[in-house]
Structure 1
């Protein structure tokens, strides 16, 4: 297997190259103005290690896969086109009203409670750019009012005259009957052929989101339209960069659904958060190939701290109405919780509690932390780690970045004055705060889902994960934590392991058991036709990308509920068609079991009836991935090698600095055991072993951190 996978983060661009039996990891600062530059630098670093030219490498790999922050940056910076929205008459206020929750959606609990200062986000579609068209389709797909085509032509002219660069169409119940949305596109092309206006995109909501829910479907389509041009040009630039370097195959893009696809089969919205989701995908593969059981994936990079859950057997949690930035959308996305707790998170003075606040703002890669000496002035977590002695100023990020201790100390002067502490004492407080924030995030995510942290193996990866692993474990109250193989680029590893995958879904009113009439579902043909239609859409996606029909596999998921309960439970079933009452009973039993696992045995309520609200089909083609070895702690431990140096480090709970041994890559030989305090500095990352903890190296440079008494 020869493959390149890239995770373009807010601070670093991570690159992972699988070259037969060799695995190479490299990093470069993300170049936001042109992502190809950061990618080229990271790839060139890997090529030097392989002693091969960039052109020769790209001519031999089977694929190049990208996870990118382009969409995230475009939303934050509001770098999108002027949108025009066409909606059903009477629904013009749906998007501005935002379900009466727009002031708090996407904010943390503290800011949601601050109602007097609540502000809605700047709209992606200004109200004057929202126009109504006369038409109406009912819940069952019947046309109640035909489309007024003359009125439509007038509204199209008005939006174009107002400067619309992208048009979005969101009609009521179009997921049941898309005829009017399709007709609107036909009329638009009649009125404004491409040779008159150029390529003005028009997005239809039923093609973006397949479920009912007018607001979330509208926001999904609006966001997709807002990101369309940015993603098209940004990813197009990356693809041209590959072409110029000799890569001739289609570029692959990682999706937030946990799969990937070629660029021509990727919607802009599918790329949001694709980097962190790739890390969860890598955790899933690790769980399937090892005996780790339940896993919490935690990715601490330069900008954020991302948390995901993979329960035993490699089953991920999904969000079907995730919140992206400040808006709720309707696309299946691997469940992810993001905290503003990265290495570049900015630290400030909290006047109310006379302490420090960490994040959510970040210094990113430009200008970056103050110690990068690139113009950053605000104190960050990385500056604190440097002041505490954990980082080597001359050997950070493989020696590519020289850290300036004086700049870090200057950045902390104002905080030190405000708190009446020394800069080192403030840095310890920052360290304690950020570790506690991350631990609280993990505990909250697990316990709200009915899990205890002690039942999970916690993975600490990303550029800063191994540096904060002991602090997170201490604050969380767990006795061991794992830095997985290739920890600093683990999300890029996951991107390389993803399958080609497309998810299609539709609303369905399928009553498997009618409690009022005491009847079971009998319209098997309708249900089977819906599944077949979704399979066909996924099949078409994959056939278009050059795959054989025989390679395509399908996974059927049903969103089910008891009676009129608001809570839906996703059920994965191998029963792809219903042919008898026994099949119906089997589906109900699978739902019964899954509901009990989620909410507790005895909580089921079949007497209320059983309904299927959504039918979802995942069409995928599996690919060979990175094989993880046995990464459990070795039975026989080895003494550590001689340290390459010593330096004074400062730790939470210790008033004075402690002499700390420093090791290089040789300390990661399988079975090596090192008691803290100690630091292991590799080309890719830094492993910090705090006092009272022990590091034990496992296969593929995996590292366990364990309390000394274990």
Structure 2
């Protein structure tokens, strides 16, 4: 079997090819190509063809392609999505404008409210119709005025809308009106992207539900067009294997499902990195890990605690400062990477990022027209990146251009030496990243002193030790292939679907009739899951299911996930759900009121199918100290203390298990460079990962 993982970043597209034969022999080939921001599919297909050539296989021999993409996220951040129209319940046109009446910055007199200043659906494109459904049972109080729906659809047709959403009040309890309205709109606008709020987010909270549905439609046309184009390009290139797409919840899904609900792809790219980090941690015997994926444009931070991925609380799931009620791995992203531009602001302050040079023109040293200094240029000036070794020599860089850019824009204006200016760039960007790591760890009850920092992405191992010092992490891991760890994560990710059913029920005093409602709803979710997996051709014995109860205290703002007992839920085992909710509340918030009533809000079923995991061969044992066999040459390198050392370079491919390299040292490979400062020692683990700690 031949499987390929492809992760698209802002600067580079990372590709990994795994080949396994009938005898159990496995081989792995990796590469990177420049991303093509104008059309990501071009870089994806070129990268796949390149890795096939390197591996000596034909594209037609590929059995599966797994893809992590930033297309959906970029559409939201750059506000480049579709023009969306909305049909909603009369009297609730401005829900999308009012939101939750939150001030993004409580004490600012000049703040931006993105859902008002840059709405996904403009007010003139939000039309109302007569209908009303009431809680708690979803009964129809006022029938749907179908003629009004048709008139609204005809008006949207005249306006040339790209997409239309239907969001009615309490449709999560009864979607009859939304589905009928969708039929009418689709008959008038057969080629328009149409979706209902009950299809996208079938849960309580009308603002978040409407906003999430609007985002799904906003990114829907272009995301589905991209996926179709990608599939077409792959087929034209001779790739006939299945195509699977990474989701924000850490699972993979089909192209068809991704086109229908593209909102699930909003954190597709970073999710693969955290999953790849967990897999690497398993290989190294580490279960508590802080991951930081540093690419050319951004740094993505995640936390793995006791081997588990953290799922964001619904109150925190947002993209572009807009709420997104879909499950997401808890990842924070900041504008800090190799392409982050260093500059002096109008007040003369020395800043780095979030503006990035990206893939084009890229850092000054690329020689593609960029003249502003970047983090990569600082690494080059300090001797941490060798021009002839950059990306294995595939990309030629010019150190003189880096020196000129830093001298002209930073060193000269501030009266600094070239080395001090370059060190300043790194100190600022490292401080920005350290603050973001603390926000995703210490601020959420995680003590970094008990965690390993894992730095990956092309630039991760260059910054990892400095960041570990800043947050006081206990040690550092540089994965075996840091530059393609996110792509690796795609090959160790399960096929996954999630289904929800809304309920409003206090568990402490639930009746037998209430528990029957719960069990009937669970049976319905199972049936939906089996239908989807049947369509995917998944055998019954390979299917796994996790049932989740999303609960809160009565009157509380947001719910938490609680574990459910196996089998039928009744008064005898409902306490399992309640106690699990208390435990989770204690873990998240630091306290739990075990004498207060627990309310069930949503039932969630997670259906997964385990894929064949990636297996790396163990390295031969070396056990050597600073092995001469792996040593290339020495070169002047400046470290964080400002001291320059004649620093040896080691070729990572020639290091063996148990080898130890004492700092100062630089470990070079095709897709990344690992820095081992003075006072540290790097030890090679059995699969080739490098564990770095104090000497």
TM bucket (normalised to shorter chain) is over 0.9
**Superposed counterparts of 1:23-62, under 5 Å:** 23-52=28-57, 56=58, 58-62=59-63
**Are the equivalent residues in 1 in contact too, given 2:341–2:354 (CA < 8 A)?**
yes
| Correspondent of 2:526 among 535, 551, 569 | 535
**Superposed counterparts of 1:528-567, under 5 Å:** 528-567=519-558
**Superposed counterparts of 1:433-582, under 5 Å:** 433-514=428-509, 523-578=514-569, 580-582=570-572
| Correspondent of 1:370 among 364, 383, 391 | 364
**Are the equivalent residues in 2 in contact too, given 1:677–1:691 (CA < 8 A)?**
yes
Deviation at 1:356, TM superposition (A): 2.2
The whole-number CA distance in structure 2 between the counterparts of 1:112 and 1:487 is 40
Deviation at 1:125, TM superposition (A): 1.7
1:595-631 Cα deviation digits (max 9, x unpaired): 334444xx33232211111211101111111136789
**Are the equivalent residues in 2 in contact too, given 1:513–1:521 (CA < 8 A)?**
no
The reply on whether 1:585 has 2:575 as its aligned counterpart is yes
Deviation at 1:324, TM superposition (A): 0.7
**Are the equivalent residues in 2 in contact too, given 1:644–1:662 (CA < 8 A)?**
yes
1:613 aligned residue = 601
The reply on whether 1:663 has 2:650 as its aligned counterpart is yes
The whole-number CA distance in structure 2 between the counterparts of 1:298 and 1:630 is 25
Q: Secondary structure at the match of 1:481?
A: strand
The whole-number CA distance in structure 2 between the counterparts of 1:491 and 1:626 is 13
1:217 aligned residue = 209
The whole-number CA distance in structure 2 between the counterparts of 1:634 and 1:559 is 49
**Are the equivalent residues in 1 in contact too, given 2:284–2:689 (CA < 8 A)?**
no
**Are the equivalent residues in 2 in contact too, given 1:289–1:628 (CA < 8 A)?**
no
Q: Secondary structure at the match of 1:13?
A: strand
2:378 aligned residue = 384
1:108 aligned residue = none
1:150 aligned residue = 147
The whole-number CA distance in structure 2 between the counterparts of 1:190 and 1:397 is 53
Deviation at 1:98, TM superposition (A): 3.0
| Correspondent of 1:702 among 675, 685, 689 | 689
**Are the equivalent residues in 1 in contact too, given 2:451–2:475 (CA < 8 A)?**
no
Q: TM-score, normalised by structure 1?
A: 0.91
| Correspondent of 1:311 among 286, 293, 305 | 305
Deviation at 1:680, TM superposition (A): 1.5
Cα distance change, pair 394–114 in 1 and its aligned pair in 2 (3 A): farther
2:318 aligned residue = 323
- Extract unaligned runs of 5+ from structure 2: 21-25
Cα distance change, pair 315–335 in 1 and its aligned pair in 2 (3 A): closer
The whole-number CA distance in structure 1 between the counterparts of 2:667 and 2:310 is 32
Q: Secondary structure at the match of 1:608?
A: coil
Deviation at 1:129, TM superposition (A): 0.9
The reply on whether 1:78 has 2:48 as its aligned counterpart is no
Q: TM-score, normalised by structure 2?
A: 0.93
Cα distance change, pair 639–650 in 1 and its aligned pair in 2 (3 A): closer
Deviation at 1:441, TM superposition (A): 1.8
**Are the equivalent residues in 2 in contact too, given 1:306–1:337 (CA < 8 A)?**
yes
**Are the equivalent residues in 1 in contact too, given 2:551–2:562 (CA < 8 A)?**
yes
| Correspondent of 2:584 among 563, 586, 594 | 594
Q: How many residues in Structure 1 have an aligned counterpart in Structure 2?
A: 682
The whole-number CA distance in structure 1 between the counterparts of 2:436 and 2:80 is 31
**Are the equivalent residues in 2 in contact too, given 1:136–1:144 (CA < 8 A)?**
yes
1:275-332 Cα deviation digits (max 9, x unpaired): 1101112233344565312121211111111111121143433343511123111111
| Correspondent of 1:397 among 391, 398, 422 | 391
Q: Secondary structure at the match of 1:184?
A: helix
